[in-house]
Amino acid sequence: MVSSVCLAELGHSVDLIEIDDAKVASLNSGRVPIYEEGLEEMLVKHIDHCLKVTPDYDNICNTDATFVCVGTPSLSDGSADLSMIKSASSSIGEALLGSRKYHVVVVKSTVPPGTTEKVVIPEILENRHLKNQDIGFAMNPEFLREGRAIKDFMKPDRIIIGSADDKAGDFIESVYRGLNAPMIRTGLTEAEMVKYASNAFLATKISFSNEVGNICKDLGIDVYEVMKGVGMDHRINQYFLNAGAGFGGSCFPKDVSALIHLAEDLDEDPILLKSVMAINELQPKRLVDLLEKRIGHLSGKRVAVLGLAFKDNTDDVRASRSIYVISELKRRGARVAAYDPKANNSMQSILSDVDYCQNAAEALNNADACLIMTEWPEFSALDREFDRMKTKVIIEGRRILSCAGFEGICW
Ligand SMILES: NC(=O)c1ccc[n+]([C@@H]2O[C@H](COP(=O)([O-])OP(=O)(O)OC[C@H]3O[C@@H](n4cnc5c(N)ncnc54)[C@H](O)[C@@H]3O)[C@@H](O)[C@H]2O)c1
C-alpha cells in the first residue's frame, strides 16, 4: 500500500494488485485497512486517477515494472516463508506470457539472499517458458518504519538497487528519480543482504542497550543518561539505544530469525544474532518478574497494560512485546485490563480473555499495577488517571514518564 501510493505520488501510474478481496474493496472505497499516518489521505488523492486497486494480474503485460511487496513471515523453524513470493512470481510469469514489451520484476519484500535468483527468476522464467522474453530482474529492499512509513519512503537515507544487469538497474533508478537520495547499485544478493544486515544491526543495538540497561538497573545507574553519552559518539549515533521491553513488529524478530536460520544452514554458529534474540525474548519476562517483586503473587490481581501496538503510531501488533507480557501475566493468574489508542482490535484477534478498555483511565480503574508497553505520546501526558488505581505501582517497559521518576524495566 505504502509503495503504491508513494509511487503514484512520484507521478507514476500504478496498479496495486492485492489478492485479499476485502482489502481491495476497502482501498477502492478510499479506506486504508490499517492505521498509518497520512496513508489514507494519499490513497484518496490518487485512487481512480493514477492508482488502481485490483485483484487481477492481467494488466501487468502493459506495464513497465512489477514490484513484489508480499509478506515473508517466519515459519515455525524461524526461516522465511517464501510461499507468497513464489505464488506472486508464478502469477507474474503467467501474466507476462506472450508479452513483447520490456518488463522489470523488482523484489521489494525482505527475502533471504539468493531468493530472487533461486526462487523468483526460475518461477517466472522456467516454469512459464518465458526464456526468450525481455524481462529484467532487480532487488530493491524497503527500509521504511511503520508509523512513519510515507515520510521514510519519500525521504529515504538511501535507495539500494540490486540488479542482474545494468538495464534493469537503470530502469529502477529512473523510477526513483524524483527522490533526493543516494542510490547504491549492487548485485541481487548483495541488495538482499543489505536489508537483513541492516535490520540485524538495529536489533543488535536494541538488545545491547537492554543488556547494558539490565546491568545499570542492578547498579542503580540511569541507563538513559549513559546511552545519551554513548550515542554522542558519531561512530555510534543516538538512535536505537533506548533500553526497554525489547523489539517487536513485523520485521526485526522475523528477519533476525531468518538470518540465524540461514547461517545455521551454512554450518555457521551466529552467536551474536542468537544472543540478540535471547535478550529480546527475556525482556518481557523480566518486566513481569519485576512486577511480581513489587506486588507479590499476581494471581487475582488486576494489571493495566497500556499499549498493545509494537510501537507508537501504528495498529500493528505483530510480535509486539505486549503479547508476551500479557500471556505471562495471565499464566501467573493476573486479570489484564488493556488499552491502546489504535491497536485494541488487532490484539483482540490474538488474545481473548482480556478486558479491552476504551481509554487509559478505564484500564487504570482499581488496578493493582500498571505496565506501560508502547511509547504513545498520550501516555506521557497521563497524571491524575493514575489516582484511580488501587495501588499506584507503575512500571515502564518504554521510558515515557521519566520526569516523574517512575520505575522502569531497566531504570
Ligand atoms: N511492514 C514494514 O514496516 C516493512 C518494512 C520494510 C520491509 N517490509 C517487508 O515488506 C514485505 C511486506 O510486508 P508487509 O508488512 O506489508 O506485509 P503484509 O502481510 O501486511 O502485506 C502483504 C500483502 O500482500 C498480499 N498478498 C499476498 N500474496 C499475494 C499475491 N500473490 N499477490 C498479491 N498480493 C498478495 C497480502 O494479502 C497482504 O495484503 C515483507 O517482506 C516485509 O518484511 C515491511
CA 95 to chain centre: 30
In tens, the pLDDT along 353-390 reads 999 999 999 999 999 999 999 999 999 999 999 999 99
In tens, the pLDDT along 267-312 reads 999 999 999 999 999 999 999 999 999 999 999 999 999 999 999 9
127: left (phi over 0), alpha (psi -120 to 50) or beta: alpha
Q: Is the CB of 20 under 6 A from ligand 1?
A: yes
Residue tagged active-site, from 216, 251, 370, 410: 251
Tracing cell 521514510 back to the chain, one arrives at: 152
Q: Is the CB of 18 under 6 A from ligand 1?
A: yes
Which grid coordinates are listed for 405?
Answer: 521518576
Please identify, by atom number, the ligand 1 atom nearest to the C-alpha of residue 318.
15
Q: Is the CB of 17 under 6 A from ligand 1?
A: yes
CA 410 to chain centre: 24
Please identify, by atom number, the ligand 1 atom nearest to the C-alpha of residue 108.
10
Q: Is the CB of 72 under 6 A from ligand 1?
A: yes
**Confidence bin at 401 (pLDDT 50/70/90):** confident
Return the closest-CA partner of residue 252 out of 33, 78, 31.
78
**Confidence bin at 256 (pLDDT 50/70/90):** very high
* CA of 238 relative to ligand 1 center, distance in Å: 30
Nearest protein Cα to ligand 1, atom 5 = 144
In DSSP terms, 314 is beta-bridged to 36
* CA of 31 relative to ligand 1 center, distance in Å: 18
Mean pLDDT across the stretch 60-75? 97
Under a CB-based contact definition with an 8 Å cutoff, are residues 107 and 273 in contact? no
First and final CA of the chain: distance in angstroms? 39
Please identify, by atom number, the ligand 1 atom nearest to the C-alpha of residue 84.
28
Helices (H) and strands (E) in the chain, counts: 16, 13
Q: Is the CB of 71 under 6 A from ligand 1?
A: yes
Of 26, 32, 70, 86, the residue with max ligand 1 atoms within 8 A of its CB, to mutate for a pocket test, comes to 70
Of 59, 250, 313, the residue with max ligand 1 atoms within 8 A of its CB, to mutate for a pocket test, comes to 250
Distances in whole angstroms, Cα of residue 78 to Cα of each of 82, 88, 141, 254, 264: 12, 22, 20, 7, 11
The one-letter amino acid code at 258 reads: A
Nearest protein Cα to ligand 1, atom 13 = 71
Identify the three-state secondary structure at position 316: coil
370 is catalytic: no
In tens, the pLDDT along 204-238 reads 999 999 999 999 999 999 999 999 999 999 999 99
Which grid coordinates are listed for 128?
Answer: 512459464
Return the closest-CA partner of residue 136 out of 157, 175, 111, 164.
164
Please identify, by atom number, the ligand 1 atom nearest to the C-alpha of residue 88.
31
Rounded distance between C-alpha atoms, residue 290 and residue 286, angstroms: 6
Q: Is the CB of 88 under 6 A from ligand 1?
A: yes
* CA of 110 relative to ligand 1 center, distance in Å: 9
Tracing cell 506486588 back to the chain, one arrives at: 295
* CA of 49 relative to ligand 1 center, distance in Å: 24
- Predicted pLDDT of residue 97: 87
Nearest protein Cα to ligand 1, atom 31 = 88
- Predicted pLDDT of residue 133: 73
Which grid coordinates are listed for 262?
Answer: 540461514
Q: What is the DSSP letter of 311?
A: S
**Confidence bin at 326 (pLDDT 50/70/90):** very high
* CA of 73 relative to ligand 1 center, distance in Å: 9
Distances in whole angstroms, Cα of residue 41 to Cα of each of 9, 21, 45, 262, 367: 11, 21, 6, 40, 39
* CA of 304 relative to ligand 1 center, distance in Å: 32
In tens, the pLDDT along 53-67 reads 999 999 999 999 999
Rounded distance between C-alpha atoms, residue 103 and residue 124, angstroms: 12
Identify the three-state secondary structure at position 99: coil
Rounded distance between C-alpha atoms, residue 6 and residue 387, angstroms: 45
Q: Is the CB of 87 under 6 A from ligand 1?
A: yes
Mean pLDDT across the stretch 175-189? 97
- Predicted pLDDT of residue 41: 97
In tens, the pLDDT along 86-143 reads 999 999 999 998 888 999 999 999 999 999 999 999 999 876 566 667 899 999 999 9
370: left (phi over 0), alpha (psi -120 to 50) or beta: beta
* CA of 268 relative to ligand 1 center, distance in Å: 29
* CA of 89 relative to ligand 1 center, distance in Å: 14
Q: Is the CB of 251 under 6 A from ligand 1?
A: yes
